[in-house]
Amino acid sequence: MLPTETVYGLAANGLDTIAVQKIFNLKGRPATNPVILHVSNIGEASKYAYFDEKAKKLADQYWPGPLTLLLRKKDVVPEITTAGLSTVGVRSPSNDVFQDMLACLKFPLAAPSANPSNRTSPTSPHQVLEMFGNSCPPIFDDGPTDLGIESTILNLTSKLPIILRFGHISQLEIEKCLDQPVSTLIDSHNLNSKLHKSPGMSKVHYAPKTFSVLHETIDACMEYKNFTPNDLIISHSSRDIKRFQDLPCKAIAFSTNGGLEEIARCMYRKLHDADKAKFNQLHLCLNDSDDDLALAINDRIRRACAQKT
Ligand code: AMP
Ligand code: MG
């Protein structure tokens, strides 16, 4: 278990079929959901993926960092890693522990988030340990991660680059770097859209075990009629909490002042802690900021509240 700047990853040799199979087994991850290869730099990445001009530009600017590039894969990458697809996701994480580990190895690390499939991703070693219990492999404890929420995933194999997962690197930043428009086929208002092309991006993902109710706004949440004393509202800013004080339930916030970076960094830990406390229901509101990071945050909130069918 290794820290990245986004979330903790369950790492193994991404070129070794047996090692990657162990990742799938431990996570209970469907074989149809590919894993990302983590590398130290562009030179390493181009051993496993065909790097074109666009990929080079983006990696020059944003690596090491929270941007995953989907590129055509080279033959050396086994089918299990890419779930049989002709593309492979590559990224260079900025965490020093992870980079030190890569520097000691002659292979890339497949490192999906260190959580059982579909649960919230871990942003602290405690979360990893609590989710895997006795079957937990050794953890490199680097404390809480710097950024929280998973990397932006950009597909560069389509005519127009497409963001498949929102993250810290925004659509605007990518468009500026490439000097061309970029689309976002995952319409976060329609997660069932046939257009979403990333196998792992199912409607239910990053979800707490506790039943979670989605409210479009704080006002809508205030109007909810069926709160019980064992319900918990998790709002975005501590400043919102006094608005909830007359409601017959508890309320906490993802952040002290509503800053999007703090929300992104803390949200998975707060969801995990809320899960442990065994509330009856969680209530999550969408963030009303029009900043791009709010898109990534709201995407995770929608998925956390999507019902398992
Ligand atoms: P995780 O490693 O848990 O952050 O999840 C990685 C996600 O990246 C997967 O769930 C997929 O949605 C996406 N992904 C990785 N490789 C590919 C690929 N070759 N094609 C499309 N999506 C990919
Ligand atoms: Mg994951």
Dist. CA 67–CA 259, nearest whole Å: 21
Delineate the domains of the chain, giving CATH numbers in brackets. 2-188 (3.90.870.10), 212-304 (3.40.50)
Give burial (CB, 10 Å; 0-12/13-18/19+) of 231.
Answer: buried
- pTM, two decimals, is 0.93
For ligand 1, mutation pick of 36, 69, 120 (most atoms within 8 Å of CB): 36
Contact (CB, 8 A) for 27 and 10? yes
Ligand 1 centroid – CA 88 distance (Å): 8
- The full length of the chain comes to 309
Q: How many Å lie between the centroid of ligand 2 and the Cα of residue 114? A: 7
Q: Give the mutation target among 79, 88, 90, 164 for probing the ligand 1 site: most ligand atoms within 8 A of CB.
A: 164
121 Cα–ligand 2 center, Å: 6
The ligand whose atoms approach the alpha carbon of 200 most closely is 1
* 3-state secondary structure (DSSP) of residue 130: helix
What is the distance in A from the centroid of ligand 1 to the CA of 242?
A: 40
Dihedrals phi, psi of 159, to nearest 5 degrees = -55, -50
Amino acid letter for position 207: A
Which ligand lies nearest the alpha carbon of 158? 1
Angle at 131 between CA 197 and CA 257, to 5 degrees: 75
User: What does the pLDDT profile of the chain (309 residues) look like in tens digits?
Assistant: 999 999 999 999 999 999 999 999 999 999 999 999 999 999 999 999 999 999 999 999 999 999 999 999 999 999 999 999 999 999 999 999 999 999 999 999 999 999 999 889 999 999 999 999 998 999 999 999 999 999 999 999 998 999 999 999 999 999 999 999 999 965 434 444 444 456 656 666 677 889 999 999 999 999 999 999 999 999 999 999 999 999 999 999 999 999 999 999 999 999 999 999 999 999 999 999 999 999 999 999 999 998 654
200 and 186 in contact (C-beta within 8 Å)? Answer: no
